[in-house]
Amino acid sequence: MTVRRDFKEPARCRPDLVIGREELFTAAREQLVGGGSVLLHGPAGIGKSTVLRALAADYAGTARTVLRCSATESESHLPFLALADLLGLVAHEVADRLPAAQRTALESALTGRGESTLQSDGLALRLAVLSVFRALAAEGPVLVVADDLQWLDPASAELLGFAARRLGDTPVQLLCAVRTEGQEYDRHLRALPPDSQAIRLNPLSRAQVSALLDHRGYTGLPRSTVRDIHRTSGGNPLFALELGRALAENPTPPRPGEPLHVPTSLRALVLSRLRMLSAEARRTLLVASAGARPTLALLHAAGRENAEAETAQAAELGLLATEPEGPAVRFAHPLISAALYAEAPAQERRAAHAALSTAASDPIERARHLALATTGTDPEVAARLAEAAALARDRGAPSVAASLGLLAARHTPADSVPGPDERRLQAAEDAITAGEVDLARDIAREVLTRATVPADRVRAWMVVIESAGHALGEVDAVFPQVLADAGDDPRLLALVHYQLAWRGLVVEGDFAEGREEAAHAAELAARGGDRRTELLALAFQAQTETLMGHPDAPATIKRALREPQDPQVACHHNGAGSVRFRWLIMSDQLLEARSTVTALLREARRRGMVESEVHFVRLLAETELRSGHCGRALDLARESLRLARDAGIGEVASANLASLAEASGGDVDRALALAREAVRHAEEDGDQMYLSRALAALGHAQLVAGDVEGTVRSLRRVRELEQALGITDPARGRWHGDLAEALVRIGEPAEAQDVIDLTREHGLRLGRESVLAVLDRAEALVRAARGEHEVALGQLTSAQDRLAKLGHGLEEARAAFALAVLRTSRPGPTSYDEAARLFRRCRALPWLRQVESAAVTPRAEPPVVAPAALPHDGPACLDGLAAMERQVAALVMEGATNREIAARLFISVKTVEATLTRVYRKLGIRSRVDIVRLAAGRRTT
């Protein structure tokens, strides 16, 4: 299935004004907070002024005085203008503190009265500016905010630089922005203090451009269009927004294969030097702009005899950046190529494509140019385009295949076989493979408005359903229509029942229904001779049976792996290969699981299967996480999330895994934010399956963060959801040990034991060795809470050894940590050495920080208290307390501190405090002292 979701970073990480600039925004702010100055630099339109304003608004409150100036090119010849902007309104506040000569020179420069210049009043004026800054800073910190330093008049720039170099420890900071090309910013640092930090703004990624367009209201653009905007703009936010605006205002989209429409405003910006070229040179550049990978040889083959001289002239004007040691002809910016193409008359564009249709060496490129050079329908052109689309599909370029397929449909006569709609549907299916789900859905909807052949209609409906992803509830009304269109054709009905299997799982939350629909789909597909659908249905059936703990799962997996296989299904994320991986990792065969998913990922990438690539990168990350390679898992999980956001598919699932990886090896706050966002999206979609996964990730992150009450709330919901779904295999989510541990820590050992007992029953039935070892680790905590220390220590030691043999490095380290906590008879840092070593080997940084914190906290050996004896040995008034409350009260009576009680009962200090509050309320007392008095009173009677 294709999972569509515009997954956003949490709001705290994505200020509206600095989309895509979070890291540099943080770096700049840290520099300012540390007392330094900042110079933002980058090319025109890259967003320097936006970041400057956001930083100024964020940090200005820490300064007593904020001085601002923003220069323009038209005013850069006016001396002292920027100085007047900065000091004109504040100089009078400190003027009486300046020596007379300095005051006179400054007043003359600021007001324009007199003939003050740097030549006539140089030293006095320089010292006056420095004195003003010092006088203002004497009353509180000063922040100078200066935009477009490149347009500062030379006199003001010189004075600002003179003062900045001599401020020393004076609390004056500069926050400036300057337009630069490349890395040429050094000369502008002379206007800032010596310890200033230069921060370059780089182009935005595709996902960041998409977020920017959405923020500005250019929503609903197909992802293929967003991709073209990103490519054409070069990641420049100004250019991207202008392109987005032009597309939003233009109801006619560009033809497939053509560059984007470039608005007049941007054409003027990038083509001002074009009129300096000869007419022939402009034609040569037009041919280059129409080509996919233009070279001098290609231009010659296309009839441009003087290509060398003409491209050299364009390079001198900054339009081209030819490679010094290669044949490629590269435009200085992608927007120049698009603007040049947009500026040319349609006839000249067709002539350029016609020339390239014979000059290009690649058959796909020749076919594309032939289509763009042709008007109207032409069966021969359409056939060549269809052949080129098939070639692109085989090469692993489904996005290119979709574009060529649409061109083929455009040139296909209405009475041809295959017809234009059949070619459009093939293009839609290629778009699905490429992750272009919006494009695929739009094509299918268009076909449905006129198609009458049942096979075409069912095929189109399948694209519509597939493009909905896990939001299947949004297309629920489609199923009756598609069943009616399918009639009694087993091939068509197989397609429908395969999608009904997904609906049963996702919408109804019923694994049994999904399994039955999948089995029916496999039977129909076999009867109709549709091996591809049969394989997909068998894989789905095997997947549900695996998660359900159904005894038929191994046999169904074998059926799904039998020959003949469909090459594309074999490496599909919903194919048998993926099911086999899931079985391997749930059965603790980590090495084989890694090699299996690595091979699947390699083939998916070769075929250009975007959603499958996202899926398999995520599964590889999961494998590394299970193996205890947290650093590697974190890198892969972040890569999967980046890919998912870029393609707009699989984002919730990738966020779930990224949350687990962050909690284990990265940033716990980020783990919490990702999991909460995934929960919200799954709830909005009504997706029970992914909701349980998201809640499991949230519960784990809460446990690592120390929020055990939150962990219990989240994982109790997971338990309820999975019971309703019919999931019995504990290796599916592996949350049971976390829930049991959290229950112990909030004082609910009985419920923890119930979770362990029920889960162990399923784990034993299915042979889930690592799950059983984790359950033993959790049960040891239950026994420790009941005072069975020696038994708990033995059980933890055994669990650690078994987890080590199975290769679950992180779970092994957690068992070692639990052992270190329980061994309070040997306090001190050395008792935690083994746990620290294992966590360090895993690069499990959040866990390592917990170990280090525990190791430096002195612990005393608490007394042993038998919980069952408490009601008889304690005062009679304790009889009304719950078991955990009696244990805590008894330990207080023995003089144990809250931290010692937490160590003894293996609960958090926060839980001890909450339990004591309940004890005070029930006993009608106010403090620990009152509990001790009760104990003393008992002993004296």
What's the token pair of residue 781? 């905590």
What's the token pair of residue 368? 């594309």
Distance in angstroms (rounded) separating the CA atoms of residues 677 and 660: 13
Query: What pLDDT does 932 receive?
Result: 72
| The dihedral formed by the CA atoms of 932, 935, 937 and 938, expressed in degrees to the nearest 10 | 180
Q: Cα dihedral sign for 577, 580, 586, 591?
A: negative
Query: What pLDDT does 870 receive?
Result: 35
**Chain-centre distance of CA 266, in angstroms?**
31
Q: Which residue has the tokens 């030691």?
A: 797
Query: What pLDDT does 941 receive?
Result: 36
What are the beta bridge partners of residue 65? Answer: 142
Query: What pLDDT does 4 receive?
Result: 38
Query: What pLDDT does 877 receive?
Result: 58
Distance in angstroms (rounded) separating the CA atoms of residues 771 and 791: 20
What are the beta bridge partners of residue 176? Answer: 39, 146
Q: Which residue has the tokens 């009450």?
A: 709
Distance in angstroms (rounded) separating the CA atoms of residues 934 and 921: 15
Task: State the DSSP string of 713-776.
Answer: HHHHHHHHHHHHHT---TTTT--HHHHHHHHHHTT-HHHHHHHHHHHHHHHHHHT-HHHHHHHH
Q: How many CB atoms lie within 10 A of CB 361?
A: 10
Burial 850-864 (b: 16+ CB within 10 A, else e): bbeebbeeebeebee
Distance in angstroms (rounded) separating the CA atoms of residues 571 and 611: 11
Query: What pLDDT does 647 receive?
Result: 67
Query: What pLDDT does 89 receive?
Result: 85
Query: What pLDDT does 783 receive?
Result: 92
Residues whose CB falls within 8 Å of the CB of residue 165, separated by 6 or more in sequence, listed in order: 190, 193, 194
The letter for the amino acid at 639 is: E
Helical segments of 828-869, H only: 833-842, 845-855
Q: What is the mean pLDDT of each run of 10 residues along the chain (941 residues)?
A: 40 52 86 90 86 88 89 78 87 85 84 60 84 91 90 86 88 90 67 85 85 80 79 84 80 68 75 81 91 87 91 86 66 82 89 92 89 91 92 84 92 92 94 84 92 92 85 81 93 94 82 92 95 94 87 90 89 90 93 96 87 92 95 93 77 92 94 93 79 94 93 94 87 94 92 95 93 96 88 93 95 94 58 88 92 66 35 52 75 78 69 81 78 60 36
Query: What pLDDT does 865 receive?
Result: 33
Query: What pLDDT does 3 receive?
Result: 38
What's the token pair of residue 63? 């300064």
Query: What pLDDT does 660 receive?
Result: 96
The letter for the amino acid at 623 is: T
